[in-house]
Amino acid sequence: MEITSILKKLQIAELNSMQNSVLDQFKPNQDFVLLSPTGSGKTLAFSLLVSKLIQSDKNLKTQALIVVPTRELALQIESFIKKVITGYKILCVYGGHDTKTERNALKEAPTIIIGTPGRIIYHLERNYISTADVHTFVLDEFDKSLELGFQDQLQEIMQAHPNIKQKILTSATDLDVLPDFVALDNAIKVDNLDSQENKPSIIYKKVISPVQYKLRTLFNLLCTLGEQKILIFCNHREAVDHISELLDDRDLIHDVFHGGLEQRDRELSILKFRNNSNRILLTTDLAARGLDIPEIDVIIHYQLPGKEDAFIHRNGRTARMHAKGEVIVMLKPDDNFPYLPESTEEIKVEEDLYLPNNTPYSTLYISAGKKDKVNKIDIVGYILKLDGLEKDDIGVIEVKDKEAYIAVKRKVATQIIKEGSNGKIKGNKIKFIRT
């Protein structure tokens, strides 16, 4: 597919200077490292490189392996790369997903596999992945992927693919030393970290609060911020759950996202945040990478990360692709956080403010999707046949293989559940369920 048609499909006017530089400097069979800020379009850049390397020979089995540190990032890349590279089978494998489903999908070798290290090794050890034709290896977020704990897994994956001719590494932060098993060969390096074009436009602020008042200060801060879209980072899932209890007590709609949740619940939290069924997401560093939600207005660091690169990746969730964003760090009176700009404004948080309005949307679920021949137009048409329903009552719809999630105005959600259930869409019996 030509780049112009890819951009049209993605509704992007043109490549940015980083992406053009990547295409200009890239050479097949010469390893490649891309450093660029979060939200600057790295996924499109390396997807275009992979599209150049894929061969149309039908006798070839799996040709490219894309390894990422988290499930969420794997799913994000899968969704994106399927829009860039068409006509080839692309499969995502990750922990928490049904192994039998993945095993069946691997019987006819996908051209591209995207996955997390542990799940890739699971399939390699059982010979479910064909490695002989894999010539391209992509390691996204390589700084995180090469941290201690992942290295043994990545070494095992590399050793299982002896015919790799092309390594592509990408990240928003660099590593001083790469482990020997990565062994880059005369690598081309595009370092775009200091580029003004892609530098996020972030306003930094700080809130000073003694530990014993910190939770109350956070709540008052949320009331101050009103109806903005807010991502709150904590260092531990216990803190996430503690804050969630407070917001539940105040009837403030929100969701949580951390490694202690089932995969399905994690995906649903992100989906509802994306479709505006909630405006507040409480999370650990699990959400610091792989979430492509461009409308996030404010990042709050309820607890401070220990390393600067974690701070950078957290902040990369806002001010994406030339948008502006705000980062608020909550500090104790004696804290000295070295990663904050010296000019950071201190803001005072008022007490006894009105609760912000909850989002007007709610998410409904139906157990029919793409494999049932159901699409967004079918769902919209079905809902609009209900008495008194209008197009403005329907928000974002996401249709997956066997299910669909529909954001609707809260005021009509109960009506849709009552009147819309037990009908049929494309021959599939429909029952709407509130998530």
* pLDDT tens across the length of the chain (435 residues): 578 888 888 888 889 899 999 999 999 989 999 998 877 889 999 999 999 999 999 899 999 999 998 888 898 899 889 999 999 999 999 988 889 999 999 999 999 999 999 999 999 999 999 999 999 999 998 887 777 568 889 999 999 999 999 999 998 888 877 888 888 878 999 998 876 665 667 889 999 999 999 999 999 999 999 899 999 999 999 999 999 999 999 999 999 998 888 888 988 998 999 999 999 999 998 876 666 676 789 999 999 888 887 888 788 766 555 457 899 999 999 888 888 888 889 999 988 888 888 899 999 999 999 989 999 999 999 999 999 999 999 999 999 889 999 999 999 999 999 999 989 999 999 999 998
Tokens of 193: 């970290």
Sequence-separated contacts (24+) of 260-268 with Cβ below 8 Å: 262/96, 263/71, 263/94, 263/95, 263/96, 263/97, 266/71, 266/72, 267/72, 267/75, 268/363, 268/405, 268/435
Please give the structure tokens belonging to residue 332: 């104790």
- Phi, psi angle pair for 185, to nearest 5°: -105, 100
Which of 257, 280, 275, 276 has its CA nearest to residue 267?
Answer: 257
**3-state SS string for 166-206:** EEEEEECCCCCCCCCCCCCCCCEEEECCCCCCCCCEEEEEE
DSSP designation for 281: E
Question: Residue 129: left (phi > 0), alpha (psi -120 to 50), or beta?
Answer: beta
Amino acid symbol at 201: S
Domains of the chain: residue spans and CATH: 3-191 (3.40.50.300), 201-346 (3.40.50.300), 361-434 (3.30.70.330)
d(CA 275, CA 406): 9
